[in-house]
Amino acid sequence: MGKRVAVVLAGCGVYDGSEIHESSAVLVHLSREGAQAEVYAPDVDQMHVVDHVKGQPTQEKRNVLVESARIARGNIKDLAKLDVKGLDALIIPGGFGVAKNLSTWATQGKNCIVSKEVEDVLKAFHAAKKPIGLCCISPVLAAKIFPGCELTVGHDTECEKWPYAKTAETMKELGCKHVNKHVTEVHVDVKNKLVTTSAFMCNAPIHEIYDGIGKMVKEVVRLA
């Protein structure tokens, strides 16, 4: 039997949900590794809905579970039903939904609150010593919940290639060790079984982001 890996989504679309290319890459690489993905999302309203053409919020309301189901091709469960006992690992792709719907990082930064459901799931996998894979912005969830952990969101010096590098500095302020890594690399925190990669935190060609996520998935499955 292949490893059973929970994939937690935060909606559908980079600006208000899960990053679609990252989510797809996770699912493709899990399949390649012979693992079985089980997709979950919280049954809550999105913080807001963003028009992805204009990049502006709209008056519309959308549900995180309903939107995430688009990526999962309908094969998805409510995060409240996740039982860590039957699962071997957890992966949370990036996208602003992580910072808006799974936490309040987008509006409150290091003073954010992680949604209780999401925090409980992360703590359950951590307590069971089961690996957790996080990419793009989602390592901030671990930064908030597991003080002193080691993570990467890419580089900590802002430039055209690394437009979101200030995130690394904020994570350091939370007491984490940030490790600079290229987009095709991962960092493994052996003690906490955390595997992180920068993905779209880097202004890189999409195939490099895909390859970095592949390495993250491979490490998560190996640790499971």
Nearest 5 degrees, angle CA 100-CA 101-CA 105?
35
CA distances from 207 to 3, 54, 80, 92, 152 (A): 25, 26, 34, 19, 19
pTM strictly above 0.85: yes
- pLDDT, the chain, mean: 97
Could you confirm whether 136 is annotated as catalytic?
Answer: yes
pLDDT of residue 1: 75
pLDDT of residue 43: 98
CA–CA dist 13, 222 (Å, integer): 29
Query: What H or E segment, with its residue span, contains residue 221?
Result: helix 206-223
CB contact at 8 A, 163 and 136: no
Mean pLDDT of 64-71: 98
Mean pLDDT of 3-15: 98
Domain that holds residue 141: 4-223
CA–CA dist 96, 78 (Å, integer): 20
- pLDDT tens-digit map of 106-144: 999 999 999 999 999 999 999 999 999 999 999 999 999
Confidence tier at 8 by pLDDT (50, 70, 90) = very high
DSSP 8-state secondary structure symbol assigned to residue 163 = T
Give the CATH number of the domain where residue 106 resides: 3.40.50.880
Work out how many domains the chain is built from and give that number: 1
- Residue among 136, 149, 176, 202 flagged as catalytic: 136
CA-based nearest residue to 49, from 17, 9, 8: 17
CA distances from 179 to 95, 115, 217 (A): 21, 26, 18
- pLDDT tens-digit map of 138-173: 999 999 999 999 999 999 999 999 999 999 999 999
